[in-house]
Amino acid sequence: MADEERQSSGGAGEREGSVGRARVAIVDDRHEAPPGPRTVRQQPVREDVMPKEGMQLPGVPVDSLFDCTIIGAGPTGLFAAFYAGMREMSVKIIDSLGDLGGQVSALYPEKHIYDVGGFPAVKGKDLVAACVEQGLQFGPTVCLGERVQKLGRADDGTFVLQTDKHIHHSRTVIICAGVGAFTPRKLPNAPAIDDLEGRSVFYFVREPDVFRDQDLLIVGGGDSALDWALALEPLARSTTLIHRRDRWRAHEDTVNKVLESSVNVRTFHEVKDIQRANGRLTGVTIYDNRTQTETQLPVDRLLLCLGFIANIGPIRDWGLEMVDGGIAVDSTMATSIPGVYAAGDVARFPGKLHLIATGFGEAATAANHAKSFIDPQSRVFPGHSSEKSKEGQ
């Protein structure tokens, strides 16, 4: 989170985290960052949905006892589903959102991601599409629009997961919940703009064409703000970026590219007021926080990149050891509860890097050890996938 974003929150116990290149504030108060609206859909993904010859297991009814249940359907969770399927486990994926892709789909589907192996640059939505194709090829059962509220054990030692919709049963659990539920940080000390959100005021970009031929003002100093300044500059009629100081939290290369572009960059500037007419944004008053000098800008679209407030919610009450707002794991991705693993942004261990690329490795580690937990006679590492394909020839 950028320095000014931390100062504006004022929340007790607030910590910094990240979702890809989006920075978030992690809070402990579960009421501070409630989950947003979601569609509810529950469907087993059958073999013929993502056909891949010779690599499917039969779809499993949703009420069955599964070998592995994965909480979270982002890239990490989808890769965990792929690897667990490759280890011939029956797999269920549960996610609170209405679509696969998790926070990548929700926060930055149109942004380019540069730190995933094999992709010099890939849009979030395209990465998700590839992860979905890979993750569903073994036919896992997918339950969307469900939020896991409780995790406990049955008398036989298997796990019982209670969501807001159903009861699920599993031999092992892999938690890939990212940073949890998240809400965008609002402008501090600014007039109410809730009625303009989604029409003239935005916190992330799902459809870049909304900004075409518009006068755009972007507020923020992190990767999201500068990435979008570069991405939307060719579309917008004009693009202005303001930041309340002259220090940036974005990658140096991105900062240099923005400064060399046609984007009108104004440091030490903040939003003072907004103007509207007929239910739409028409202008924004900004001011220099050193001199208090005000400037009136014609603005059709306002993009606020001030970070997000995240909360892992009920996970905190599941009896897991928590560290720095996440779940403590060992080198096998095992949590303090035997049979429960964690991977991705929710996992915590010394030297942790919050990258999608590292989440993939953590997911594979968790899935392999989950297989060994179920079947102690199986090898933790069964060999490379290329060797498995040779066996089938």
Least confident span in 50-59, 175-184, 233-242, 269-278: 50-59
Give me the percent of the chain exceeding a pLDDT of 90.
60
* Cα distance between residue 372 and residue 31, in whole Å: 38
Select from 254, 280, 306 the last residue of a domain: 306
Confidence of residue 69 (pLDDT cuts 50, 70, 90): very high
pLDDT of residue 17 exceeding 60: no
Q: What CATH number is given to the structural domain containing 102? A: 3.50.50.60
Residue 33 lies in a domain: no
Per-residue burial over 351-365, b = 16 or more CB atoms within 10 Å of its CB, e = otherwise = eeebbbebbbebbbb
Same domain, 282 and 242: yes
What tokens does 127 get?
Answer: 């990465």
pLDDT digits (tens, 9 = 90+) for 232-278: 999 999 999 999 999 998 889 999 999 999 999 999 999 999 999 98
**Mean pLDDT over all residues of the chain?**
84
More confident residue, 206 or 161: 161
Select from 276, 306, 336 the last residue of a domain: 306
Residue 243 lies in a domain: yes
Amino acid letter, 75: P
Select from 248, 279, 306 the last residue of a domain: 306
How many domains is the chain built from?
2
Domain that holds residue 249: 186-306
Give me the percent of the chain exceeding a pLDDT of 70.
81
User: According to the model, what pLDDT value does residue 194 have?
Assistant: 84
User: According to the model, what pLDDT value does residue 192 have?
Assistant: 76
pLDDT of residue 317 exceeding 80: yes
Residue 9 lies in a domain: no
Confidence of residue 106 (pLDDT cuts 50, 70, 90): confident
Residue for token pair 């929150």: 9
Whether the Cβ atoms of residue 26 and residue 108 lie closer than 8 Å to each other: no
CA atoms within 13 A on the CB side of 321: 12
Same domain, 119 and 47: yes
Residues contacting 139, CB < 8 A, separation 6+: 45, 46, 47, 49, 50, 56, 57, 58, 59, 85
Same domain, 177 and 117: yes
Same domain, 384 and 360: yes
Instruction: Give Cα separations from 211 to 107, 205, 350 (angstroms).
Output: 17, 9, 42
Same domain, 67 and 193: no
Confidence of residue 145 (pLDDT cuts 50, 70, 90): confident
Whether the Cβ atoms of residue 66 and residue 166 lie closer than 8 Å to each other: no
User: According to the model, what pLDDT value does residue 15 have?
Assistant: 56
Residue 140 lies in a domain: yes
Same domain, 78 and 124: yes
Same domain, 289 and 331: no
Tally Cβ neighbours within 10 Å of residue 195.
11
User: According to the model, what pLDDT value does residue 16 have?
Assistant: 58
Residues 290-306: what's their mean pLDDT? Answer: 96
User: According to the model, what pLDDT value does residue 45 have?
Assistant: 42
Same domain, 172 and 51: yes
What tokens does 202 get?
Answer: 């935005």
Same domain, 80 and 177: yes
Residues 288-307: what's their mean pLDDT? Answer: 95
Residue 242 lies in a domain: yes
Residues 338-355: what's their mean pLDDT? Answer: 95
pLDDT of residue 43 exceeding 80: no
User: According to the model, what pLDDT value does residue 6 have?
Assistant: 37
Same domain, 77 and 93: yes
Same domain, 166 and 243: no
Residue 255 lies in a domain: yes
Residues 157-177: what's their mean pLDDT? Answer: 96
Residue 7 lies in a domain: no
The vertex-326 CA angle with 320 and 328, nearest 5°, equals: 55
Same domain, 168 and 45: yes
Residue 292 lies in a domain: yes
Q: Is the pTM of this model over 0.75?
A: no
